[in-house]
Each structure stands twice: as structure tokens, then as C-alpha cells.
Structure 1
Amino acid sequence: HTEPQHQQRSPAPVVQPRATATHVRAQLQGPVFTPTDAKLPLKPFEVMQFLRTVAVLLMGITLCVSAAKVDERDCEVCKAVLSDIDSKLTTEQRKDVLEIEQAMQTYCDAAKGKEKTMCYYMGVGDKEQGTAGGVKREISGSFQRGINAKRLCTRLKKKDAQMCELRYEKKIDVKNTDLKKLRVKELRKILDDEGVSAKGLVEKDEFINKIKTHFGIKDDL
């Protein structure tokens, strides 16, 4: 009697769970942070890495803010004076620092106001005023090497901040300003800047009328 042979059954196929959108996102994004993870203490090197990252970010923000606050009027007199001198130098003069310094002296002898003060700071004064320092040779040497006024003023600022603190006074936009709100001193300055004599003027209204006449400003009806 032969017993029937039992057929070996093949193992049932393993059914893979259907991938859902949540599973796919989890695989792409990596391990998900859970509140319990926050309880795990950070290792020393992780703390240092975190602090370094924060420091770099703060430094970057600080630099961006500082750059945004750069004053466009910084070094304006210095740039104006050195640009003017530089533009007048000939090719021959640039070959000799003494020739350059002579050109600087010629410019400063005729300078007035803020430009004259800048010459004093540069070390190019006159017998009456003298000089404030000895950067004249540095300036002439820089002109000889072709360094422009903007770059040169930035260098000079590190040695003597006064050079870049010197600024022109803001001119009043006469035609768009209520002259009655200005002081007599300011009204007088407007006339002085225009080369108009204020002789005989005493009252504020007299200054205002003189300015309106000079600029052709008519009273509103």
C-alpha cells in the first residue's frame, strides 16, 4: 500500500504594504523629528556646530545692515578735492612726486572754504595756515601709481578720520522751501552763496523779498 505523496506547497507571497503619500514624503525628507527627540542631550560637538552657525548668520546680517547704512556723503570733500587735482595732472607731472606736489600746492593756494580746510589736512598749507600732518607724500605717491580719489580717500580715512568727516553744507532748495520758516542766518547764507549783497537788510521780510527777486519767485495769489 503506497501512501499518497503530499504536494509541497509553495510559500504564500509576501504582500507589500501599499505605499502612501505619507510614506513617500518620509523617505524623501529623511527621519521625522518628534517631540521625544528633543529630550535627547546634544553632544558637545553638535552644540559647538550650532553656535558657529548662529554666529555666522548674525555676522552676515550685521554686515548687510552696515552696508545699507553707508553714508553717500562720506569723504565727499576729500573725493572732490583729490579728483580735481588728479584731473589736472599731466603725464609728465605724474612721473615725479615733486611735480605732483607742486600741482597740489598750486591748487591749494587758490582754494577756499572746505577745500582749503581739506588742503590743511592733506599737509598742503600756506605760510599763514600751516598744515595738520604729513600725508602729502602719500597722496602724491598714490597719484603717481594711478590710485583714484575714492580709493585714496578710503585709505586716508584710516590715518586721519577728519578728512572724511569734512562735508559740504547742504544747499537749500529755495524754490521748494518755505522761506518764512528759515532763520535770518540761513536767509543771509542763501544770499552769500549766490553772491548777492545783503547790505542794508535788517528785517526777515527784507531778506525773503531779496531772495525771491533774485530767484524770480512770485508770490502765490
Structure 2
Amino acid sequence: MLCFSGLSVALALALLPSTINALKDGECEVCVGFLGRFYQSLKDNDAQFTNEAIEKALIKACKDAKGKENRLCYYIGATSDAATKITNEVSKPMSYHVPVEKICEKLKKKDSQICELKYDKQVDLSTVDLKKLKVKDLKKILEEWGESCKGCVEKSDFIRKINELMPKYAPNAAKARTEL
């Protein structure tokens, strides 16, 4: 009869790969996407991988974040108006080069809202018929570009504004539309 102590069972369970908490495909897409690009930017800029330097760079990156990525920054406390601060949960493991998927798994345990964030579907401006979109979607395109349409009343006003700004914000789509 085999006899195992509680410690050896705990050690064996700790060494087994944990699939219970592993992220599923597409889960935590904003967290993985944002932190992945952030980590890559640190490597590209030969940044110091210290806890303090990463936290400082994270707060700086979050100042420019928009939409869902800004919401992620808020949840981890990297924005000035955040109620809690768990940036250390990102900067410390990142200083040891822990994969961003693992960092997001840990963040999910702290705040499940982090992994509920999803990117909005992107409209392919090179092929979409703007006339078939709703005004709400047209406004959203302008909002993503950081633009507004003052004095726009009709749907055609929003379409005109998008077509006017497309070369600036979506040059490839503007070029593809002129070739059609």
C-alpha cells in the first residue's frame, strides 16, 4: 500500500500543468493584445526590465490608450482616475519575462472584468459600402479616429466626412476605394 504525505501530494499537484486556469482561445484578447504590444515595445526600445521602469512605462503607455485598452488600464490602476492599483501584478512578472498570457491569467483571478474586455469588430473601410452602415457605426468610425462631425445631421454628412478623412486615417482603404 502506497502512503503519500500531504506535502508530496501538494508538490505533485503544483508540478502538473494547470489547464483549469489556462486561457481559452480569444479569452482576454484586450489584455493579451495590449500587454503583448507593450512588452514588444519595451524589448524594441531596449528598456530596463526592472519593476519600477516597467511600471513607469506602463502608466505612460496607458495615457495614450483608447477604448477597451483604456478600460484595461483603468482596471489595473494605470490611469490617474483608477480606484485600485494592481500595476505591480503586471510589472513584476514582466520584469522576469513571464509570457503575457500568464500575466493575464493572474489578472483574471484578481478581477474577472479584465478578461471580459473584447475589441470591437473593425469595419473594412476598403470594401464596405458606407451607405449601408448605420449612423451609429459611422459615428464610431469617426470616434476611433478621434474626430467628430460638427454640424452633421444627415447620414450623407457623416459619409462625406469619413471619405474626407480616410486618406489621413486609413490611407490603404482610401487608395483601394479610388481603384474600384
Q: Same fold (TM over 0.5)?
A: yes
Query: Structure 1: how far apart are the matches of 2:59 and 2:153?
Result: 41
* Counterpart selection for 2:127 from 152, 176, 179: 176
Deviations 1:96-147 (A, max 9, x none): 3122212222222333332221111112221xx123x343222111012210
| Aligned positions, number | 145
2:35 maps to which residue?
82
SS at match of 1:174: coil
Query: Structure 2: how far apart are the matches of 1:105 and 1:194?
Result: 22
Query: Structure 2: how far apart are the matches of 1:162 and 1:118?
Result: 9
Deviations 1:161-209 (A, max 9, x none): 1111112211112343343332212112223334555223211233234
Q: Percent identity?
A: 40
- Which of structures 1 and 2 has the larger relative contact order (alpha carbons within 8 angstroms, sep 6+)? 2
SS at match of 2:78: coil
Query: Structure 2: how far apart are the matches of 1:142 and 1:161?
Result: 19
* Counterpart selection for 1:140 from 91, 113, 120: 91
Deviations 1:6-45 (A, max 9, x none): xxxxxxxxxxxxxxxxxxxxxxxxxxxxxxxxxxxxxxxx
1:99 maps to which residue?
53
- Specify whether residues 109 and 188 from structure 1 end up closer, same or farther in structure 2 by C-alpha distance, changes over 3 A only: closer
Give the gaps of 5 or more residues in structure 2: 1-23, 167-173
Give the gaps of 5 or more residues in structure 1: 1-69
Superposed, 1:189-204 pairs within 5 Å as: 189-194=140-145, 197-204=148-155
Query: Structure 2: how far apart are the matches of 1:194 and 1:99?
Result: 30
Query: Structure 2: how far apart are the matches of 1:89 and 1:177?
Result: 36
Higher Rg of the two aligned structures: 1
Deviations 1:31-78 (A, max 9, x none): xxxxxxxxxxxxxxxxxxxxxxxxxxxxxxxxxxxxxxx552x21211
- For the 8 Å contact 2:51–2:92, the answer to whether it is kept is yes
SS at match of 1:81: helix
1:121 maps to which residue?
75
- Specify whether residues 108 and 191 from structure 1 end up closer, same or farther in structure 2 by C-alpha distance, changes over 3 A only: closer
Superposed, 1:1-221 pairs within 5 Å as: 70-72=24-26, 74-89=27-42, 93-94=48-49, 96-126=50-80, 129-131=81-83, 133-194=84-145, 197-212=148-163, 214=166, 215=174, 217=177
Instruction: List structure 1 segments (4+ residues) > 6 angstroms apart after TM superposition.
Output: none
RMSD after superposition: 2.8
Query: Structure 1: how far apart are the matches of 2:144 and 2:79?
Result: 24
